[in-house]
Amino acid sequence: MREGTSLTATVGQLEASRCGPQYLTSGNRLARNTLWNLIGNIAPMLVAIFCIPVLVKALGTNRFGILTLVWALIGYTTVFDFGLGRALTQLVATRLGTDEQQDVPDLVWTSQLMMLFLGFVGTAVLGLLSRWLARHVLHVPVGLEGETTRSLYLLAFSIPVVISTAGLRGLLEAHQQFGVTNALRLPTAVFTFVGPLLVLPFSNSLAPVVAILLGGRLLAWVAHLLYCAKIVPELRHRIAWRRDAIRPLIQFGGWMTVSNVVGPLMVILDRFVIAALLSVAAVAYYATSFDILTKLWLVPAALLGVMFPAFSMTFVQDRGRTAVLYGRSVKFLLLILFPVVLFIIVMAKNGLRVWLGPEFAEHSTRVLQWLAAGMFINCLAQVPFALVQGIGRPDLTAKLHLIELPGYLLALWWLSRTHGIEGAAIAWTARAFIDAFALFAMSRRFLPHGTHLSPQISVVLIMSLVVLTLAAQVQNVIFKGIFLLLTILIFVLATWFVVFSPEERRLTQAFL
């Protein structure tokens, strides 16, 4: 009997350890989860490359244009959750960090009921506006008004499903189940492009296309719900509503919503200012460069989707561990992104000339170089941004964005008038640097003294910015090649002997 009891206790301890902060935030697990996120972000893009030409040919330009709006609206419907999904991730991760998980099921159900309510409000709003949107806002051809209206009605019914799924995904992410979330998200994302192809043999109408997309989202919601019940079995027992959980969810989610609205606004405002002050052609020269560089965001998005709950979990238990994860995140992004950004800045003019022609290269080269430098520092700033929000202070990032917005608008307007699209790029890059400086200074307050960033990383970061500035001055193609070769060689040597710790060198050797 004693042997059986001992075996049961051992198994229980093993299961507990696999849910503990040390296991959930181990380096190998975080690295594997980051890789999962990268695959989940990139794979649907590859599928889209093959599916979109077929859809354009089969549906026609007008119907495909409306379908792209449907895809965009499906993505943006998560705004109706008002940050509750992210709030749930932070609160559950904090509970896991303090090993106080008894109220997690109540938190989950309370947030889910709130999100479903908000989703049905979104359904009512979009349903009431569907006919008006189709006729007066989207200006679709008269023959497509009926199809578009029916498609928007169907899309409205998907809002509660999409929002609820985001909340369930937040629960899985808090438990570092990124292999599962990407295994569920990847088929859903792929189905977004493949699903319409399945309808084409029977119809080229938009309503069946949107209906099959809705069916795919519904299946994804069921799969998320079932796996959440497996991770937190107590969810099966009852649907709970906790009034005392409403305030922290709304408080965190409300500040998250401010950042989620103001942040993207500062990303797209430059295009409207350029169109108003300059021309639509100038928007094309500017936006093309910007859209190329936004693909760099996939790297910090993959990493910090994993680090957000890890910061929440470790901060309440071991801030030293939080500092280690923070420093390694900055180091990882710096080492990955610097060579890419360096290549973009050095080869900007040549690349644009080959890809889009000499006229584009003439107008967009400096824009691309300025924005590349800004995007580099902006990607690094995602680490302190995730830290500050992950430890439960989204109010600080939201207030920072609100403070930045009027100053950025003023600089954007003035520089665009005086220096054209290069001035707009300078304004965006300057804001990115100010934002990064403020976020790094802000995060310093919450980490143990002397653990913010190592001197080596700080020196490498400063030297990287100096090198990127020099890279924009190189003109001759031969000199560009020599500059790239020497800089990358020095960068690799500095990384190996200065930036990497002995442990990281051993891990790299073992991996190679």
Q: How confident is the model at residue 17 (pLDDT cuts 50, 70, 90)?
A: very low
Percentage of residues of the chain with pLDDT beyond 70: 90
According to the model, what pLDDT value does residue 507 have? 65
Per-residue pLDDT reduced to its tens digit, 350-402: 888 887 788 888 888 899 999 999 999 999 999 999 999 888 888 899 999 99
Is it the case that residue 10 has pLDDT exceeding 50? no
In this prediction the pTM is: 0.80
Query: What are the pLDDT digits (tens) for 446-456?
Result: 888 755 667 77
Alpha helices in 18-144 (DSSP H): 21-24, 27-76, 84-98, 104-132
Predicted confidence at residue 508, as pLDDT, reads 67
* Residue 38 or residue 10, greater confidence: 38
Per-residue buried b or exposed e for 331-352, using 16+ beta carbons within 10 Å of the residue's own CB:
bbbbbebbbbbbbbbbbbbebb
Contact yes or no for 330/453 (Cβ under 8 A): yes
Domain ranges for the chain = 22-241, 272-511
**How far is Cα 342 from Cα 290, in angstroms, rounded to an integer?**
16
Please, what is the average pLDDT of the chain? 82
Q: 358-390 vs 394-444: helix axis angle to the nearest 10? A: 90
DSSP class of residue 500? S
Question: What is the dihedral sign for C-alpha 418, 421, 425, 431?
Answer: positive
Query: Which tokens hold the place of 261?
Result: 């609205």
Q: pLDDT band for 179, please (50, 70, 90 cuts).
A: confident
Amino acid symbol at 221: W
Q: What is the pLDDT of residues 254-301, one digit of tens each?
A: 888 888 778 777 877 888 888 888 876 788 788 878 878 888 888 888
| Cβ atoms within 10 Å of 283's Cβ, excluding its own | 19
